[in-house]
Amino acid sequence: MRFRRLQNVKGVELLDGRDMDRYLKEHPTVLYRYKPNTPGFAFLAIMALFSAAFGVFVFLDSETLTPAHWAFVGAGGIVALGITAVVAYWLYYTKIYYLAASDRHLMIGKGAQVVAINWATLDTGSLAFIEDDTGFLRGLALQLPDYRADLKLFSRYAVLANLQGFMSTMLTHMKSVDSDE
C-alpha cells in the first residue's frame, strides 16, 4: 500500500492519529478486519515442525556428517524457516491491515495510518477484480487518476472477516455514485 505519496490526490486523504480519532467521533464507521486461515496455519506449522525434525534426525542419526548429511540438515532448517516466515507475515498482516467504510469514505488502514477515499470519487470504472497466476480471485484493484491500491479480500492465508458486508457496502456506494450521473 502506498501511504506516503498522497499529496494533492483529489478525493484521497491520509488520516493519522488524532485526525482519525476525530473522524471516528464525527462519522459512524464500520470496521472490516482480516481473519487468518487457522486450519491452514496449523497445517503449515506441522509441516515446519516435520521439516525441522527431519533436519534434527539426520543430524543426530549420523556418526559422521558428510556433505550430503549437512545438505539435508540445512534443507530441513530452511524449509522450516520459510514456512514459519510465511505464517508470521500473514499473522502480522491480519493484525495490522484493515478496511473500513463510513457514509463519506472507503478507508484502507495500516496500523494508525488510514487512507480515506471519498465515495464520490469512486465509480464502477475505478474497480477491477484481481486474480493470481492460477486464476484464483483474490481482491479488488482500485484505480483513481493519481492513486492505486489493491484491496485484498481473501487469499490462501487470510480472508476479510465480513466479506459479504464489505461487498454489500461497496456495491451500495458504487450504485449510488453511478445513479447520480
pLDDT score at 179: 57
- Per-residue pLDDT reduced to its tens digit, 124-171: 778 888 877 776 768 888 888 888 888 888 888 899 999 999 999 988
* Largest pairwise CA distance in the chain: 78
Contact (Cβ atoms closer than 8 angstroms) between residue 152 and residue 139: yes
What 8-state DSSP symbol labels residue 157? Answer: S
- Per-residue pLDDT reduced to its tens digit, 115-125: 999 988 888 77
Give 171 or 178, the one with higher predicted confidence: 171
pLDDT score at 1: 47
Separation CA 151–CA 115 (nearest Å): 12
Edge-to-edge strands, sheet with 12-16: 12-16, 113-118, 105-110, 97-102, 29-36, 158-160
Return all residues near 82 (Cβ < 8 A) that are at least 6 apart: none
